[in-house]
Amino acid sequence: MTDSAFATDEFIRARIDAWLRDLGSVRRLAPRTLEAYGRDIGQFMAFLSGHMGGPVTLSALKDMRGADIRAFMAQRRSESLGSRSLARVLSALKSFFCFLEREGTLATEALNVIRTPKMPRALPKALTVVEAKQTISMTDEIEDRPWVAARDMAVISLCYGAGLRISEALALTKADLDADVMRVTGKGGKVRMVPLIAPVRNAIASYLELAPFKLWPEEPLFRGVRGGVLSPRLIQLRMAQLRGALGLPPSATPHALRHSFATHLLGKGGDLRAIQELLGHASLSTTQIYTAVDTERLLESYAKAHPRG
C-alpha cells in the first residue's frame, strides 16, 4: 500500500494501483523501481491532500496547476532530496498522469511546464601520474606474446600520452603518423593534430617492428591476433587485467587514462584552451570540468599534508 492510501479517495487509489500493475506487468519495471514510484506518487498525493484539507479527488487533479507541482518539488528539495532522486519523482508523476491520459481518465498540462532537475556533472576519475606510468610499463609483464604486449602498450600509451579516446587510437593509420605529430579523427569526423611525444612514438615503433602483419599506410594500425582490426573490448579487458595486477579501482579504464592526460596537463599549468584542442572537445565547458578535478585533488593533498588540515 502506498502513502496515498489515506490521502486519496477510492477512485484515485484504484487508479494508482492499476498504474503500478501496468508498470510491473506491461512495462516490466524492477520491483525496487515500482516501490520507489509508488512511494513518490503517494507522497505527492499526501502533499496535495494537505493543501486541500481532505482526500484528493479526480476533480482536484483536474484543477492541479504547475505551481502545485513546483511547490511539491520544492518541499522535497528542502528535505535534502538530491537532483537524481527529484528527477525520479518527476518521472513517476509524469508516468502516472500519462497513464490516466491513455485510459481517458484525465488530461493535464500542468507537468509540461516543469523542467527536469539539472543533474550534477560527475567528475572524471583520473589516475595518479605514478599509477598511469605503472599501467603502461606493466603491460609487457602480463602478456607472453611480445608483439601483442607491444601493441597494447602502444594503444594505452596513446590514451595517456596523447589523450586519445580508445576509438581514436584504434582508427589511426600509418599515414596519420608524422615525425612529431599525428592526425586524429575524432567525433563527428573532426580532424585535429596532436603532438607525438617520444614515449608514445617509441611505443608505436616497437609495435610496428614486432607486428607479424603487413600494415598498409591507409589501413588501421592496430590488429588482432588474426589480422583483423583490433577490437576496443580487447584493450578494455587488458586494462581490467592491469587493474587487478596493480590494485586499481574499477574506474581505471582506457578512458580514465584520457582523463588523466588532461588532469595532469592542467596540474602542470597547461592552458585550458590548448587542452581543449588536444582532447578534441567542441566546447570549452566540456574541458572546464578538469579544473574541478584538479581543485579536488589539490584539496585532498592539502587535507593530508597541512598541519591544520
CA-CA distance, 252 to 209, in Å (whole number)?
A: 29
CA-CA distance, 88 to 228, in Å (whole number)?
A: 44
Q: Which among 145, 171, 141 is positioned nearest to 225, based on CA atoms?
A: 145
Catalytic residue (one of 281, 297, 306, 308): 281
Q: Which among 130, 124, 165 is positioned nearest to 278, based on CA atoms?
A: 165
Q: What DSSP state is assigned to residue 185?
A: E
Catalytic residue (one of 37, 160, 207, 290): 290
Instruction: Examine the residue annotation and report whether 183 is marked as an active-site residue of this protein.
Output: no
- Give ∠ CA 94-14-53 in degrees, rounded to 5: 80
CA 24 to chain centre: 28
Catalytic residue (one of 165, 223, 238, 264): 165
Instruction: Examine the residue annotation and report whether 187 is marked as an active-site residue of this protein.
Output: yes
Instruction: Examine the residue annotation and report whether 281 is marked as an active-site residue of this protein.
Output: yes
Catalytic residue (one of 201, 258, 259, 264): 258
Catalytic residue (one of 39, 70, 125, 255): 255
Q: Which among 266, 238, 237, 233 is positioned nearest to 126, based on CA atoms?
A: 266
CA-CA distance, 94 to 174, in Å (whole number)?
A: 53
Instruction: Examine the residue annotation and report whether 302 is marked as an active-site residue of this protein.
Output: no
* CA distances from residue 69 to 42, 94, 115, 181, 257 in whole angstroms, order as listed: 14, 11, 11, 55, 43
Instruction: Examine the residue annotation and report whether 255 is marked as an active-site residue of this protein.
Output: yes
Catalytic residue (one of 21, 121, 187, 190): 187
CA-CA distance, 260 to 170, in Å (whole number)?
A: 19
Q: Which residues are catalytic?
A: 165, 187, 255, 258, 281, 290
